[in-house]
Structure 1
């Protein structure tokens, strides 16, 4: 039997186990986040500032669910790696276990006998004394790998209830948020919309660029409210309005060869969209083929155009705070079975919705990455 080959293989497996991130711990930490979000939801319903509290609760749910999905995905990948490692070494592991079992069954007097006499007995005893601790050590590492596999499987089996409760809690929080926003009466207004002017602009518009330019020309006089503070110092540091990944950057063509000056983001269904800065709502509603559009003006002449929402919150002319909810993405939350299935396949393709962000200074489009944090080097 070639002990060095067996020992080297199992040592490599053990090294891989230590090099991997502890997926089980990550998923458990995510479950704790969901539990915390559940407690926050109960408090938010009785909070004086319900909109703010519910916004934070939904974000906590989204973060917890995202972390749990990622933890399950990593757990599934890790389990697959362990299974492959163990299957590839089945023969060598069986021989190693056979030797360990044989050593364990051998009686001490028999071990003292050797065909070559006393010298052979001493030599065999020294070899066995050297090899046995190494075999015991590698057997312990193998046992650790098997325990890790069991823990990962238990984690995935127990995740269904946690996922189901998290998805349900997030939906309850969205419903409560919509009601709180509809009941809200304390937002300041900078102007009152002229619906006829807006309707005429929409009717004469064929592009998002044309609509944004026309909106700039329609800048109304504020009703006795001081201008919003300049946010130029925040350039490059604004958070994206939604938890998302960048699909296409400005100037990158889509599948049809169309090039736009904005960012295309991939989001999860029903994701909460918030205002990246204190801003006046200049427009909210359906536009062209962009779905619902929210146009925010954080300072005179600067527009953040957010297109592709399913639901929009607020009224034109209202001033919303930084981080205030302005809408929800469309789509349907995946079922628990679908999430677990994706995890078992080692995939994380759950960002099925797209949001488009354009930044305009006057009539000129500006690279949104000059304003927003997008991990340009990622």
Structure 2
């Protein structure tokens, strides 16, 4: 029995998960504080658009880390609570044993009916049992303390996260205003609205539209953009999120598309992966709001599913320049943004950005162009 008890003590859950959640929440809090400092400095920045873009990205990274910490803390608290609830009767018996031992008035209570030999054996048994009981009591105290700490972490982190969500929305509003006031963005060509309307009306597929998109340009000027060859495979994704569906994977309706589907949070910032010309922006086919970027001749990045668009057709944008925001922001969106449910599967990311890459109007696998690391 003593061996079984000792084994149970060894198998009792450790506090590493709780410590991990604490560290994540602490680091995320530091990220959000840094983002808040950036937001304060953005007003006086020489390039407010660039400063606010970096601020929003910092908030998004900090909020993603905070959600991860909250999710881990919640999972660990639930696990510990269930374990403790399942052991209620066991713990009651265990505490009763400790109380019996603790209330013993004197060593004479342990005199054995078999005499000195029996008493010695009983003493040895108790000496072997007591450390195991003490270890078990220590583990129980630690687990109860972990539950208390995890709840405190979640309360504090939730407050920080709510504040961060308010501040990132402030940064989004400031960015929209700064972009509206911007007048220095270079323009490569002027859009021909008649040709654009004809192309949209006559195009039944993305292939058809992409093949004729250059025809909507008027007074186009030659322009030199950075060579993209060395960066293929290492381009950042346009928005923070996780890949929900790869190229040519069937969706729920059995439809296959050559691009990837990125799950994002409501209001996620969409930026240009590299310097590029905006070949088109606006609604297109069944893809919603679309932005088509041309980073080099005969290469197109098609981004579809945006909620708001900041760029105009014909403009030239820099690397990491804001393109727009994902949709989904509303009066009740704060609850959605606070949620950690479904994080692992991406179901908490209610918005989707479709990303397609084309060379000479032939679709390429975006996975070979963009780095797809761990999200937040």
Q: Does the alignment reach a TM-score above 0.5?
A: yes
Shift of 1:347: 8.4
Q: Which position in structure 1 is the counterpart of 2:328? A: 331
Q: Which position in structure 2 is the counterpart of 1:200? A: 198
Q: Which position in structure 1 is the counterpart of 2:79? A: 81
Residues 337 and 359 of structure 1: CA distance in aligned 2, closer, same or farther (over 3 Å): closer
Q: Is the 8 A contact 1:310 1:329 kept in 2?
A: yes
Residues 8 and 40 of structure 1: CA distance in aligned 2, closer, same or farther (over 3 Å): same
Q: Please state whether the residue corresponding to 1:58 is helix, strand or coil.
A: helix
Q: Is the 8 A contact 1:282 1:297 kept in 2?
A: yes
Shift of 1:89: 2.3
Q: Is the 8 A contact 1:11 1:138 kept in 2?
A: no
Q: Is the 8 A contact 2:266 2:337 kept in 1?
A: no
**Which string of whole-angstrom CA distances, capped at 9 and with x for unpartnered residues, describes residues 21-61 of structure 1?**
72232123212222221121111122111111111111111
Residues 101 and 337 of structure 1: CA distance in aligned 2, closer, same or farther (over 3 Å): farther
Q: Please state whether the residue corresponding to 1:284 is helix, strand or coil.
A: strand
Shift of 1:129: 1.7
Shift of 1:148: 0.6
Shift of 1:327: 0.5
Answering whether residue 260 of structure 2 is matched by residue 263 of structure 1, we say yes
Q: Which position in structure 1 is the counterpart of 2:293? A: 296
Could you tell me which runs of 5 or more consecutive residues in structure 1 were left unpaired when the two chains were aligned.
none
Q: Which position in structure 2 is the counterpart of 1:283? A: 280
Distance in 2 separating the partners of 1:343 and 1:244: 15
Residues 119 and 4 of structure 1: CA distance in aligned 2, closer, same or farther (over 3 Å): same
Answering whether residue 264 of structure 2 is matched by residue 246 of structure 1, we say no
Residues 355 and 304 of structure 1: CA distance in aligned 2, closer, same or farther (over 3 Å): same
Shift of 1:234: 1.1
1:292-371 equivalences in 2 (<5 Å): 292-332=289-329, 342-343=340-341, 349-371=347-369
Q: Is the 8 A contact 1:24 1:155 kept in 2?
A: yes
1:75-224 equivalences in 2 (<5 Å): 75-111=73-109, 113-216=111-214, 222-223=220-221
Shift of 1:184: 1.6
Bigger mean CA offset, 214-223 vs 305-314:
214-223
**Which string of whole-angstrom CA distances, capped at 9 and with x for unpartnered residues, describes residues 183-242 of structure 1?**
1222222222223222222222222221111114556675364x2122011111111101
Q: Please state whether the residue corresponding to 1:9 is helix, strand or coil.
A: helix
Residues 156 and 375 of structure 1: CA distance in aligned 2, closer, same or farther (over 3 Å): closer
Distance in 2 separating the partners of 1:344 and 1:240: 21
**Which string of whole-angstrom CA distances, capped at 9 and with x for unpartnered residues, describes residues 113-148 of structure 1?**
332222222222222222212211121111111111
**Which string of whole-angstrom CA distances, capped at 9 and with x for unpartnered residues, describes residues 329-368 of structure 1?**
0002665555666559998632001111111112221111
Q: Please state whether the residue corresponding to 2:250 is helix, strand or coil.
A: coil
Bigger mean CA offset, 283-292 vs 188-197:
188-197
Q: Please state whether the residue corresponding to 1:175 is helix, strand or coil.
A: helix
Residues 200 and 347 of structure 1: CA distance in aligned 2, closer, same or farther (over 3 Å): closer
**What is the RMSD of the two structures over their aligned residues, measured on CA atoms?**
2.5
Q: Please state whether the residue corresponding to 2:71 is helix, strand or coil.
A: helix
TM-score norm. by structure 1 comes to 0.90
Bigger mean CA offset, 3-12 vs 144-153:
3-12
Q: Which position in structure 2 is the counterpart of 1:11? A: 10
Q: How many matched pairs?
A: 373
